[in-house]
Amino acid sequence: MSTDHVQKLWEIGPTMAELTPHSKLLGIKFVAVDKGRATLSLPYNPELIGDPKTRVIHGGAVTTLLDQACGLATLAGFDQPTSCATLNLSIDYMRAAKPGETIIAQAHCYKTTKHVAFLRAIAHDGDETDPIATAQATFMATGPRPKDSKTW
- Name the site residues for another protein (rule: CB under 8 A): 20-26, 46-52, 57-61, 63-65, 67-68, 71, 83, 85-93, 96
Give the residue among 108, 122, 1, 130 at the shortest CA–CA distance from 66.
Answer: 122
Amino acid residing at 140: M
The end-to-end CA distance of the chain, in Å, is: 11
Residues 6+ apart with CB under 8 A from 13: 30, 33, 38, 72
Give the residue among 53, 62, 50, 75 at the shortest CA–CA distance from 26.
Answer: 62
CB of 29 to another protein, least distance (A): 15
CB of 96 to another protein, least distance (A): 7
With respect to another protein, which residue has the nearer C-beta, 60 or 126? 60
CB of 3 to another protein, least distance (A): 25
With respect to another protein, which residue has the nearer C-beta, 33 or 105? 105
CA distances from 74 to 40, 58, 102 (A): 14, 25, 23
Burial of 69 per CB tally in 10 Å (0-12, 13-18, 19+): buried
With respect to another protein, which residue has the nearer C-beta, 65 or 122? 65
CB of 51 to another protein, least distance (A): 5
CB of 125 to another protein, least distance (A): 17
With respect to another protein, which residue has the nearer C-beta, 65 or 76? 65
For the chain, the helix, strand and coil percentages under 3-state DSSP, each to the nearest 5: 30, 40, 35
With respect to another protein, which residue has the nearer C-beta, 1 or 63? 63
